Amino acid sequence: MGRRSPRMARVIVCTPPELYTRFYRVKRLVRRYLGHSLSNAQLLTLLLDVFEERLAEERKKRVLTSY
């Protein structure tokens, strides 16, 4: 589905059709979970919010484990 970037092992490089496929796959999953569909802008906002929350949790874990 994608190839790994040689410079950054954790980054997956995708071609545009793969990105569209993944985006609409996520969109379908969210629609099933919420019971209604979101616009593309709403979906991206939701994904960014979830991503920011996840990053904040990871940051807290790092701070707690560093002591």
Express each pLDDT in 29-56 by its tens digit. Answer: 999 999 999 999 999 999 999 999 999 9
Position 6 scores a pLDDT of 57
Residue 66 has pLDDT above 80, yes or no: no
DSSP 8-state assignment for residue 36: S
Q: Identify the pLDDT of residue 5.
A: 54
Domain span including residue 52: 3-66
* Pairwise CA distance, residues 7 & 20, whole Å: 24
Cα-flanking dihedrals φ and ψ of residue 4, to 5°? -75, 140
What's this model's pTM, rounded to 2 decimal places? 0.62
The sign of the torsion formed by the CA atoms of 54, 17, 41, 39 equals negative
Query: What is the total count of domains within the chain?
Result: 1
Helix, strand, or coil here: 4?
Answer: strand
